[in-house]
């Protein structure tokens, strides 16, 4: 029987987005976006807050459905998957949430063990070995008995990363992984993301507006604004983009295509038109 969600021919892309349109209420989030997530590489989705970067992760994982267009995961239409098929595909995806999203009533060990206990029938002895291996990979095996409240922000993010790789997914989605991190924690996360991707052969999607850090580890970058891809290419291309908007974003310039002042009449006219004593 033919799978209606499948397409013919394998590609080098684990995720393909074509002519994607998506709205939330009356607000347009995506207006005909094309994006490729290459296998075995780190692809960054960058742009200002509120441009729909996290929304893209929700669409890829099937939490939300696009209004129109095509979104394929490993050659299969996410929108066309049955619920059981979608759940099976999600086991191939790991997610590092922006807040870490650790379960506060569980220890570090039990947080990492949670997806293994929920989605497998492995014996506890084997689960213990896997959990310790994942915690060792992020440098926190010694913190396995701590509660989430006892962790620093950087440690919480690393525990969340260990949980994200617990089921050995093919792809990990990072939602603002550097937000709120001190320089040491950020450096640790940067090295972990790059090393895990290379050693485990993962496909990674990094959603972020942290320019320097993201361009430092990404293989390919998409810059999104106002529902469209403004520019895309390798990090060096983005750094030297001919787009004035991208240059303003990359250099953090206060004024440019995105003006510093909200659109209004001139300041002098506003003062002259005010009430007189």
At 200-218, the pLDDT tens digits run: 889 999 998 888 889 999 9
pTM, two decimals, is: 0.84
At 112-134, the pLDDT tens digits run: 999 999 988 999 999 999 999 99
Residues 81 and 202 in one domain: yes
On whether residue 268 sits in a domain, the answer given is: no
Residues 34 and 60 in one domain: yes
Residues 76 and 177 in one domain: yes
On whether residue 63 sits in a domain, the answer given is: yes
Residues 55 and 150 in one domain: no
Residues 178 and 155 in one domain: no
| 183, containing H or E segment | helix 183-200
Residues 151 and 121 in one domain: yes
On whether residue 97 sits in a domain, the answer given is: no
d(CA 20, CA 41): 22
Residues 112 and 249 in one domain: no
Report the CATH number at residue 252. Answer: 3.40.50.300
Give the residues across from 220 on adjacent strands: 43
β-strand pairing of 42-46 with 203-208:
parallel
54-70: b (≥16 Cβ within 10 Å) or e: bbbbebbbbebebeebb
On whether residue 212 sits in a domain, the answer given is: yes
Average pLDDT along the chain:
86
User: In angstroms, how far is the first alpha carbon of the chain from the final one?
Assistant: 84
Residues 117 and 228 in one domain: no
Domain count, the chain: 2
The domain of 112 spans 102-168
Confidence of residue 5 (pLDDT cuts 50, 70, 90): very low
Q: Which stretches does DSSP call E strand in 126-274?
A: 171-175, 203-208, 220-225, 228-233
Residues 24 and 72 in one domain: yes
On whether residue 191 sits in a domain, the answer given is: no
β-strand pairing of 42-46 with 220-225:
parallel
Q: What is the pLDDT at residue 127?
A: 94
Q: How many other CB atoms are found less than 10 A from the CB of residue 240?
A: 11
Confidence of residue 10 (pLDDT cuts 50, 70, 90): low
At 21-69, the pLDDT tens digits run: 999 888 889 999 999 999 999 999 998 877 888 899 999 998 888 888 9
On whether residue 50 sits in a domain, the answer given is: yes
Residues 178 and 43 in one domain: yes
On whether residue 272 sits in a domain, the answer given is: no
On whether residue 117 sits in a domain, the answer given is: yes
Residues 73 and 111 in one domain: no
Residues 159 and 175 in one domain: no
Q: What is the pLDDT at residue 125?
A: 94
Confidence of residue 274 (pLDDT cuts 50, 70, 90): low
């Amino acid at each position: 029987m033919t799978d209606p969600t499948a397409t013919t021919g394998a590609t080098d892309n684990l995720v393909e987005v074509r002519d994607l349109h998506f709205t939330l209420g009356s607000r347009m989030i995506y207006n005909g976006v094309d994006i490729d997530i290459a296998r075995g590489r780190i692809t960054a989705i960058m742009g200002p807050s509120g441009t729909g970067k996290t929304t893209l992760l929700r669409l890829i994982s099937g939490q939300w459905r696009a209004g129109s267009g095509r979104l394929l995961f490993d050659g299969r239409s996410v929108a066309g998957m049955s619920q059981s098929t979608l759940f099976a595909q999600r086991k191939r995806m790991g997610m590092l949430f922006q807040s870490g999203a650790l379960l506060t009533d569980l220890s570090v060990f039990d947080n990492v063990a949670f997806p293994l206990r929920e989605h497998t029938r492995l014996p506890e002895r084997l689960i213990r070995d896997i959990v310790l291996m994942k915690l060792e990979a992020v440098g926190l095996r010694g913190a396995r008995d701590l509660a989430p409240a006892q962790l620093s922000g950087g440690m919480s993010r690393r525990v969340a990363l260990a949980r994200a790789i617990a089921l050995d997914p093919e792809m990990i989605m990072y939602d603002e992984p550097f937000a709120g991190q001190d320089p040491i924690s950020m450096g640790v996360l940067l090295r972990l993301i790059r090393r895990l991707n290379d050693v485990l052969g993962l496909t990674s999607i990094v959603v972020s507006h942290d320019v320097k850090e993201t361009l430092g580890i990404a293989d390919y970058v998409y810059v999104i604004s106002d529902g469209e891809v403004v520019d895309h290419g390798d990090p060096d291309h983005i750094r030297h983009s001919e787009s004035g908007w991208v240059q303003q974003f990359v250099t953090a310039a206060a004024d440019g295509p995105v003006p510093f002042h909200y659109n209004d009449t001139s300041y002098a006219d506003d003062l002259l038109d005010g009430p007189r004593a």
